[in-house]
Amino acid sequence: MTTNTHEGEEVTVKDGVTYHQFDVVIVGAGGAGMRAAIEAGPKARTAVITKLYPTRSHTGAAQGGMAAALANVEEDNWEWHTFDTVKGGDYLVDQDAAEILAREAIDAVIDLENMGLPFNRTPDGKIDQRRFGGHTRDHGKAAVRRACYAADRTGHMILQTLFQNCVKLGVNFFNEFYVLDLVMTEVDGQRRPSGVVAYELATGELHVFQAKSIVFATGGFGKIFKTTSNAHTLTGDGVGIVWRQRLPLEDMEFYQFHPTGLAGLGILLTEGARGEGAILRNASGERFMERYAPTIKDLAPRDIVARSMVQEVLDGRGAGPHKDYVYLDCTHLGAEVLETKLPDITEFARTYLGVDPVTEPVPVFPTAHYAMGGIPTNNDAEVLSDNTTVVPGLYAAGECACVSVHGSNRLGTNSLLDINVFGKRSGNNAADYANRAEFVPLPEDPAKAVRELVEGFRTGTGTERVADLRRELQEAMDRGAQVFRTEESLTEVLGVIHDLRVRYLNVGVQDRGKRYNTDLLEAIELGFLLDLAEVLAYTARNRKESRGGHMRDDYPKRDDENYMQHTMAYLSGDPHSPNPEDHIRLDWKPVVVTKNEQGELRYPPLERKY
């Protein structure tokens, strides 16, 4: 039986499963996914599959800006941007990737401007730029204005602009389709991607999308933590799917905690506030960052600022009834700056805390924000099955990918840049590959694993509640794997995760229906969260040093001799075995360094002072 669901698309229905065929399938409709679609759409038959309506993607929550050395406001160049990216990532950045990011940043901003993005402007009509943490001129001598922005709604504007351009190009969107499996087929002794399996939220039906090229652009997994700036939908589905296919994950121990989340809530207040001049103060009103980063103070990289804030609280200088937060002081900026350049965060503080930033300081504390690690790729966004081997036809971009352009700590504004630079590369390369490749045959019943997973939950008699297990996981991660970590705390977290895995086998869902069964999908998402939390905690315990977003209280110094290399994690056994050692194999991958014409390192590891 055949029918049509999108213009020009023939689909086949077999045994209750709908089969689609496209040249390029992009999983995820955030910034990276839609930027890829804009490149792939005109060159190949392209479909974008997304668990959310595209303009609800989490890219829309990004506030502060997108870095590019345009030099519109003051002197700047892409090499300074590269240096800041490498240094900000505490030298775990692949330097060739950082150079690509910084060089192509300028065109990426101009591309968005030409698509219609309404950037803030200088009086003479150029794109305005503001300061942001870790971005400096002349290799660290002073802060520089590098962040291009649209008030404090830059991510929202990027998302809307990309979506409008996808609509203009006629890109096929499958909205509220949850991709739950990557189909791999063995060809000439090599496992290659042949399609994906998706669950349609509106009907509960399964769909198989066969494709020549598949791009994962599924975002992060911040919901492994309780206090996070991430939306409830960021459950790491794409990263978890790749992990379950026994492809590696890279640098999973490095997770960024944004300094300025609303205290107790985790809702983000953009670093752009500090770029405009806001100041962090402790309970006594001291500008404490002058002690930790005397040169650029509140605009130090996020990992340094977050640790400094936590240290102030641990040392008894925290504010509030429980002395468990510090203040972001915007009062000296004035109402006009706050209402015109920072309107969203001003409203957030008023709405959620009842605090008016115009007249009083805002209580803030670090919040889980961004995964530096993820699906390993090369600079062409091709997914790797080991340190160097490419999986033909499989690509990844955005937060779910690890290029590695952020190393152990991402600079603010480099994420919106990353999704545009590497999203564009992934779309171009996926389309080029699709135009010269043949379809890989699907196995006999490609939807079998997903069907069994879905029906197992829908018809099961388990008694454990998803919400209880998720809460216990998040609380354990906040306790033992957040800003400060130790061998003891990480071992405790791994023990909790094992116990939760056992209980997860007895999870029950109350909704037995097929239409809009979010109860069922939350149960599946919890499985991905457990997988990724375990990999994070296990790789963090293995890295016995402090670097970037990974701070070990028991190993407080950076150890370049032993750990100037990427962690590669592989699923190698039964994931339900009690010890992670039995099912997670760890390996190392060299950091890519670049040299100048004299053969000297262009960005040698330096002491990280600000």
- State the catalytic residues: 302
Tokens representing residue 45 in the block: 């038959």
Give the separation between CA 377 and CA 375, rounded to whole angstroms: 6
Among candidates 418, 511, 445, which has minimal Cα distance to 155? Answer: 418
Helix (H, G, I), strand (E, B) or coil at 445: coil
Tokens representing residue 67 in the block: 């870095």
Tokens representing residue 101 in the block: 């990011």
Tokens representing residue 37 in the block: 């679609």
Q: Which residues contact 347 (CB under 8 A, 6 or more apart)?
A: none
- Measured from the Cβ of residue 439, the count of other Cβ atoms closer than 10 Å reads 16
Helix (H, G, I), strand (E, B) or coil at 502: helix
Tokens representing residue 429 in the block: 């390369």
Distances (CA, A) of 294 to 461, 546, 609: 59, 21, 9
Distances (CA, A) of 167 to 38, 61, 161: 9, 21, 10
Give the separation between CA 516 and CA 204, rounded to whole angstroms: 7
Among candidates 529, 488, 506, which has minimal Cα distance to 243? Answer: 529
User: Quick one: DSSP state of residue 11?
Assistant: E
Distances (CA, A) of 523 to 29, 310, 448: 22, 33, 18
Tokens representing residue 382 in the block: 């091709």
Q: Which residues contact 252 (CB under 8 A, 6 or more apart)?
A: 371, 373, 374, 532, 535, 536, 539, 567, 569
Instruction: Yes or no: say if 589 and 250 are a contact pair by the CB < 8 Å rule.
Output: yes
Give the separation between CA 5 and CA 20, rounded to whole angstroms: 9
Q: Which residues contact 226 (CB under 8 A, 6 or more apart)?
A: 471, 474, 475, 477, 478
Instruction: Yes or no: say if 310 and 302 are a contact pair by the CB < 8 Å rule.
Output: no
Give the 3-state secondary structure percentages of the chain, helix then strand then coil, rounded to 5. Answer: 35, 25, 40
Max CA pair span of the chain? 73
Number of residues written out for the chain:
610
Give the separation between CA 456 and CA 508, rounded to whole angstroms: 9
